[in-house]
């Protein structure tokens, strides 16, 4: 865990309000694992006051890491206006990564921007002997990001859109049962509603999965107990007990 | 190098920069950033007699230059605090101050007794922002009489110096500090958070699971600073000042207003290095102004 | 077009967006930006019995997301108010509310009597944040008894609806609102500014000429909103909500929390068009959510 | 008085931390007079909360006006980072301008950044029959701005520096008596300390002057009574009774 100035070396707009940033920060890039995040102070002003968390999208393991983010409010808006060369105040890597399980199939389920931590996970799953299938659900075709990179990396990809503008029409959770199989390892990230439905279906099938959650963070390092979610034996902190949780542990 | 040491009653702090209860856990979480022994003191997160699950989430909401929290005193309770937390503190070479919270005077007393002989603890901070269940749930800290009673009992129950942490949700902070002073407190901490609310206009409900929470951060600094100044001018009790301190300048304002030490709270979240940077900025200010000791700038504002 | 009209006792406001006393002068200064008749009401700057020079400068200091002011009720006094100010108001086609401030109950009563027959004034707002010189200078607004007394006397002295403007520097805002309600006030305004301080660490003195001042602006919004919500849940008196309202979203939060109308204060300085933009944003919100009247979103937060 | 988005069309750094901005804003440019100011909201964030006032440095009377500013804190720092093309939220022109008096000599006295409103004033004095002499005092040579433009405009110029690095060594107020003459019209802007000393000397010589003052503003339009300075019969507002005052009226 480091606090440092990461140099923004590349900023790409993937769509209106959606960006990929590449940062130079060896300390973070070397140790980041899929599912972990960085916590960025977008402004030295007191508004917005808190850091903004972003999953590590990928890391070259040596010098650079990337994030994928969507402009939601003031914080991401300020971040999106930064130009290459900017030094960005960054704490990371933070949180518990995905545990790579030796399933016969790696079933990776992404909802919207939830693809970010999973992209990094899939980079690592590539080196494993089992095939990886990504179920990628978005509202509409324009919200599909990084598909070329995903395809190029050899991931098997099934797309779902709410409006049928690409892939299968419908929600990824409507079809997920078709892809589950005994012994598969399931990893998911997306809106809370999706995670809930998904977890229910996964558990009904006698399986379990790892899910990455989001929440409003305070400290980002486990000190404030502000970011908790309900787990069976009380509350767990998203920032350091998560963001990746075993679906078994969570209570919805 | 100017002398940063300060004295609060019988407590000696290597410097006046401490961290506020509930914002620094039990000292472990920030070890990745710096050695917590560099701090003047650490105020540990509140402990209660019984384990508390805390409030339902969401527990945090950001506001203009502020943060509302409703953690709800989540903690493992006294027994596990003694068994599990206290051993973790061993390596930290600074003044460690436990913070106790209760819903009855008796709970405070039991906590104070149990923690008195606890190795490593140098003092107790008494969080009086909690509802007094015997008085219909009105916070102890909003009545001088209740503050007097709790303080007296805790002082009697413990050999450790007692620091009373006052709530700012009062009309007259001076009378609250007076009550603590008269009842034998070694110092007062000023201030806890301001009761606050945020609403989600789409769901038409409070954002926090607990509806209201406590506002902290730079937004409250001007009010907290006023309270420190008022108390410093009207009492003789040492003050640990806090509320929105982000920088060395903020810390110096509190010291000049009359605080003998200051605590960094929400700023830890924004800049995990804030406390050590504040120590450095304080040192630089003293040097630039040819002071040999930080004590020369404490309580110098008249106005 | 949703209906924006609201009712506060016998007062009818064309919309719930008003401007706060002391931040809008007597309505002239913002005419360059828009027609003040577009506002639901204008709360005029406080008037006192005698002319007041106001506090020595500096009178303003900016803080994180806030502003401290110590204007000190500078105003021309009752006589010149009647002679010079009232005629200026003639062209403004909205509800005009004078704000009165005094240091004794008798001063409030004299002001209320003199302003009662004043053409053009629809109501009186009673600023109880002033020191009561007969009670050692403690602010009227920090004691339910004093609020009750002032309110009763002013209500008796004037035929106009009386709105009591409460100070937030209290432990229990609900009991203050209760006192105003019982004493016959038509509404309460929540909140005035928070007593605050800023220090210049170079001069080692308070920045403001008057040392302390009142904190306003977005910084205080979460506390003000909490107070509005508490009062709305525990009383039946209409509330004019204020404290850091900058945008339509802020205004809607206050309405949902229980305010019947809202006032824009410090935001006027930041964005002179804020009040009219808020009216527009409110309208858009109502339309988007298929409300036919703003009254449907007032006091809807339970939590 | 207008509230509008002024387009930044040129941003020049004159020295480290000192900038001239040119804005396109016909409404303001057409009506601005020397001594008036614009009030700029540098950020849509709540920090800094208030607008920042800057004297109009010059106006072409039709479309464009300029400001000269120094980075002092967060507000001016944010302003200095704006790039041409930026739309800047601007209220103006505000305040009372200089009253051009028919003196036999126009004696213009600038301390540091105080040169900004006086520059505009001198543009207008040029069209008058009487000569203009600028006494321009700064800390050191590097703090002299716009000298070329001033010289090109035909203004007679006497420079003073505290350290003697340019012009006469010393403070402009040390020498001002040498330049005052009966019937001259005096205009000044600079640090409060300079204004005080200057006013005293001017009055001692039986003359008067117009001075432009600065203060922390709240509303900028006369509503809040926050920006007052002491005058003989009470307090006057810098934002609308000033910023230009007759020295006779002020009480120091
Ligand atoms: C561990 C973690 C990893 C994340 N990874 C990514 C990522 O890779 N890419 C990405 O685009 N976003 C990610 N997020 C979410 C991202 O942090 C928020 O979108 C961002 O903080 C919003 O900041 P803002 O100032 O732009 O919006 P704000 O003005 O703060 O909020 C705008 C809106 O977004 C909502 N919102 C704000 N923060 C969160 C949050 N943390 N969770 C859910 N809703 C929120 C608010 O309620 C509000 O409606 C992650 C969050 C967490 C906790
Ligand atoms: C009518 C008027 C015209 C002005 N014209 C110009 C101009 O043409 N060029 C220029 O560079 N500046 C001018 N100023 C001053 C300028 O407005 C301030 O320097 C600026 O607001 C500082 O903002 P900041 O956020 O950078 O600094 P802050 O962080 O607000 O303050 C930094 C430091 O500057 C001091 N300061 C802030 N505002 C003022 C002020 N208004 N007066 C005196 N000291 C202040 C503060 O006390 C602090 O020490 C003018 C001010 C007024 C009132
Ligand atoms: C997340 C959070 C948790 C807190 N928990 C406690 C606590 O357990 N006990 C306590 O006395 N104060 C608690 N506080 C209050 C702080 O100790 C401090 O008084 C307050 O935050 C003001 O300082 P700041 O503005 O620097 O944060 C908490 C504050 C925050 C933000
Ligand atoms: C500069 C200034 C002057 C004020 N003067 C008065 C006043 O004369 N009387 C009064 O009742 N309130 C006065 N107030 C308080 C406001 O009316 C309002 O209650 C307060 O500012 C909170 O609202 P805001 O945060 O939107 O500004 C003043 C506030 C400011 C900022
Ligand atoms: S954000 Fe503080 S514990 Fe997770
Ligand atoms: S700034 Fe408000 S009156 Fe001048």
Please report which confidence band the pLDDT of residue C240 belongs to, taking 50, 70 and 90 as the band edges.
Answer: very high
Ligand 6 near D94 CB (within 6 A): no
pLDDT over 90, % of chain B? 94
Confidence grade of residue C151 (pLDDT, cut at 50, 70, 90) = very high
Residues of C in contact with A44 (CB under 8 A): none
- For chain C positions 168-197, those within 8 Å of chain B (CB to CB) are 169-172, 194-197
| Chain C: closest CA distance from residue D54 (Å) | 15
B192 CB under 6 A from ligand 3?
yes
Identified catalytic residue from B42, B130, B225, B286: B130
Residues of D at the C interface, defined by Cβ within 8 angstroms: 1-3, 41, 46-51, 89, 91, 215-230, 234-235, 240
Do A234 and B29 count as a contact with CB atoms less than 8 A apart? Answer: no
Looking at the CA of D240, which ligand is closest? 6
The residue count of chain B comes to: 303
**Residue C71 contacts D where some CB pair is shorter than 8 Å:** yes
Beta strands in A115-172 (DSSP E): 132-138, 156-161, 168-169
Residues of chain D with pLDDT under 70: none
Q: Which residue of B has its CA nearest to D48?
A: B65
Q: In D, which residues are within 8 Å of B64 by CB distance?
A: 46-47
**Mean pLDDT over each residue of chain C, to the nearest integer:** 96
Q: Does C268 touch chain D (CB under 8 A)?
A: yes
C117 contacts: CB under 8 Å, gap ≥ 6: none
User: Probe ligand 1: pick from A37, A40, A53, max atoms within 8 Å of CB?
Assistant: A53
The rounded distance, in Å, linking the Cα atoms of A155 and A147 is: 10
Higher pLDDT, B36 or B133: B36
The pLDDT profile of chain A, 252 residues, written as one tens digit per residue, is 899 999 999 999 999 999 999 999 999 999 999 999 999 999 999 999 999 999 999 999 999 999 999 999 999 999 999 999 999 999 999 999 999 987 788 999 999 999 999 999 998 888 888 889 999 999 999 999 999 988 888 889 999 999 999 889 999 998 888 899 888 999 999 999 999 999 999 999 999 999 999 999 999 999 999 999 999 989 999 999 999 999 999 998
Q: Is D237 in the pocket of ligand 6 (CB under 6 A)?
A: yes
Mean pLDDT of C52-65: 96
Nearest residue of chain B to residue A214 (CA atoms)? B58
Residue among C42, C216, C259 to mutate when testing ligand 4 (max atoms within 8 A of CB): C216
Distance from CA of A213 to the nearest CA of C (A): 25
Q: Are C125 and C163 in contact (CB under 8 A)?
A: yes
Instruction: Judge whether B65 is closer than 8 Å to chain D, CB to CB.
Output: yes
Hey, is the C-beta of C118 within 8 angstroms of any chain B C-beta? no
Active site residue C118: no
Instruction: Give D 203-222 residues with CB within 8 A of chain A.
Output: none
- C225's tokens: 């909103």
C132, pLDDT greater than 90: no
Does C246 touch chain D if contact means CB atoms closer than 8 Å? yes
For D204, residues 6+ apart whose C-beta sits below 8 A from its C-beta are: none
A244 lines ligand 1 (CB under 6 A): no
Judge whether D83 is closer than 8 Å to chain A, CB to CB: no
Q: For B76-81, what is the mean pLDDT?
A: 96
Cβ–ligand 2 distance for D134 under 6 Å, the answer no
B positions 195-234 inside 8 Å of C (CB): 195-199, 201, 204-206, 211-212, 215, 217-223, 225-226, 229
Gap between the Cα atoms of C65 and C13, Å rounded: 30
Residues of B in contact with C218 (CB under 8 A): 63-65, 219
Residue A129: the pLDDT is 83
Give residue D73's Cα distance to chain centre: 19
Query: Average pLDDT of C230-250?
Result: 98
DSSP B175-202: HHHHHHHHTT-SEEEE--PEEEE-EETT
Domains of chain D by residue range? 2-94, 106-249
- What is residue D101's predicted lDDT score, i.e. its pLDDT? 87
Catalytic residue among C85, C92, C98, C130: C130
Which is more confidently placed, D183 or C201? C201
Name the β-bridge partners of B17.
B262
Reported ipTM: 0.96
Return the exposure string of B151-185: e unless at least 16 CB atoms fall within 10 Å of the residue's CB, then b.
bbbbbebbebbbbbbbbbbbbebbebbbbbbebeb
Task: Give the pLDDT confidence of B188-215 residue by residue, as tens digits.
Answer: 999 999 999 999 999 999 999 999 999 9
Three-state SS across A12-59? EEEECCEEEEEEECHHHHHHCCCCCEEEEECCCCCCCCCCEEEECCEE
Q: Which residue of D has its CA nearest to C270?
A: D50
DSSP string covering chain C:
--B--EEETTEEESSSEEE-TTSSTTS-TTTTTS-GGGSSEEEEEEE-SS-B--PPSP-EEEETTEEEE-----B-HHHHIIIIIHHHTTT--SEEEEEEE-SSHHHHHHHHHHHHT-TTEEEEEEE--SB-GGGTT-BGGG-HHHHHHHHHHHHHH-SS-EEEE--S-SS-HHHHHHHHHHTT-SEEEE--PEEEE-EETTTTEESBTTBEEEEESGGGHHHHHHHHHHHHHH--S-EEEESS--SHHHHHHHHHHT-SEEEE-THHHH-TTHHHHHHHHHHHHHHHTT-SBGGGGTT----
CATH assignment of B6-56+72-194+215-297?
3.20.20.70
The verdict on pTM exceeding 0.95 is: yes
Distance of CA C187 to the CA centre of its chain: 11
D152 touches chain A (CB under 8 A): no
- Residue C303 predicted with pLDDT over 70: no
Mind listing the pLDDT tens digit for each residue in B268-280? 999 999 999 999 9
Residue position matching structure tokens 């022109």: D93
Least confident of C121-135, C218-232, D31-45, D107-121: C121-135
Q: Specify the CATH class of D2-94 in words.
A: mainly beta
CA gyration radius, chain A:
17
Question: Mean of the pLDDT values across residues C257-279?
Answer: 98
Q: Which of A89, A219, A234 has the CB atom closest to B268's CB atom?
A: A219
For D106-249, CATH number out of 3.30.70.270, 3.40.50.10140, 3.40.50.80, 3.40.50.10190 equals: 3.40.50.80
C14 Cβ inside 6 Å of ligand 4? no
């Amino acid at each position: 865990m480091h606090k440092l100035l990461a140099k923004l070396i590349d900023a790409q707009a993937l769509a209106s309000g959606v960006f990929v940033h590449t940062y130079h920060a060896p300390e973070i890039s070397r140790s980041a694992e899929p599912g972990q995040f960085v916590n960025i102070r977008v402004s030295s002003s007191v508004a917005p006051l808190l850091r903004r968390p972003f999953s590590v999208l990928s890391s070259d393991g040596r010098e650079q890491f990337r994030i994928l983010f969507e402009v939601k409010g003031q914080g991401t808006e300020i971040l999106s206006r930064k130009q290459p060369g900017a030094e960005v105040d960054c704490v990371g890597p933070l949180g518990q990564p995905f545990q790579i399980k030796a399933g016969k199939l790696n079933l990776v389920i992404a909802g919207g921007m939830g693809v970010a931590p999973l992209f990094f996970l899939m980079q690592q799953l590539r080196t494993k002997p089992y095939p990886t299938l990504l179920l990628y659900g978005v509202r509409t075709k324009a919200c599909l990001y990084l598909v070329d990179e995903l395809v190029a990396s050899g991931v098997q990809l099934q797309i779902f859109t709410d409006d049928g503008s690409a892939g299968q029409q419908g929600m990824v959770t409507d079809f997920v049962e078709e892809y589950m199989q005994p012994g598969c390892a399931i990893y998911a990230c997306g809106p809370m509603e999706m995670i809930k439905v998904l977890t229910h279906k996964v558990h009904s099938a006698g399986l379990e999965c790892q899910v990455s959650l989001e929440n409003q963070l305070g400290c980002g390092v486990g000190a404030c107990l502000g970011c908790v979610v309900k787990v069976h034996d009380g509350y767990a902190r998203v920032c350091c007990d998560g963001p990746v949780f075993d679906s078994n542990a969570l209570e919805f | 190098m100017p002398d940063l040491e300060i004295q609060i009653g019988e407590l000696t702090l290597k410097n006046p920069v401490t961290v506020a209860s509930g914002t620094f856990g039990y000292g472990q979480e920030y070890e990745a950033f710096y050695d917590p022994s560099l701090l003047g003191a650490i105020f540990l997160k509140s402990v209660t007699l019984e384990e508390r699950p805390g409030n339902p989430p969401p527990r945090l909401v950001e506001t203009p230059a502020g943060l509302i929290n409703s953690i709800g005193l989540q903690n493992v309770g006294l027994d596990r605090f003694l068994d599990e937390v206290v051993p973790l503190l061993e390596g930290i070479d600074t003044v460690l101050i436990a913070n106790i919270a209760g819903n009855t005077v008796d709970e405070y007393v039991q906590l104070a007794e149990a923690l008195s002989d606890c190795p490593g603890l140098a003092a107790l901070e008494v969080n009086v922002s909690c509802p007094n269940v015997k008085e219909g749930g009105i916070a102890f800290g909003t009545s001088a009489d209740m503050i007097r009673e709790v303080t007296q009992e805790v002082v009697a129950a413990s050999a450790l110096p007692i620091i009373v942490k006052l709530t700012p949700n009062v009309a007259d902070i001076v009378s609250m500090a007076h009550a603590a002073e008269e009842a034998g407190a070694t110092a007062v901490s000023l201030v806890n958070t301001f009761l606050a609310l945020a609403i989600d206009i789409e769901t038409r409900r409070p954002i926090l699971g607990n509806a209201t929470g406590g506002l902290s951060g730079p937004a409250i600094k001007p009010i907290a600073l006023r309270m420190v100044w008022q108390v410093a001018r009207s009492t003789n009790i040492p003050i640990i000042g806090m509320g929105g301190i982000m920088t060395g300048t903020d810390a110096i304002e509190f010291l000049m207003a009359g605080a003998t030490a200051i605590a960094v709270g929400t700023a830890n979240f924004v800049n995990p290095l804030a406390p050590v940077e504040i120590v450095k900025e304080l040192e630089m200010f003293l040097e630039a102004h040819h002071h040999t000791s930080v004590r020369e700038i404490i309580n110098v504002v008249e106005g």
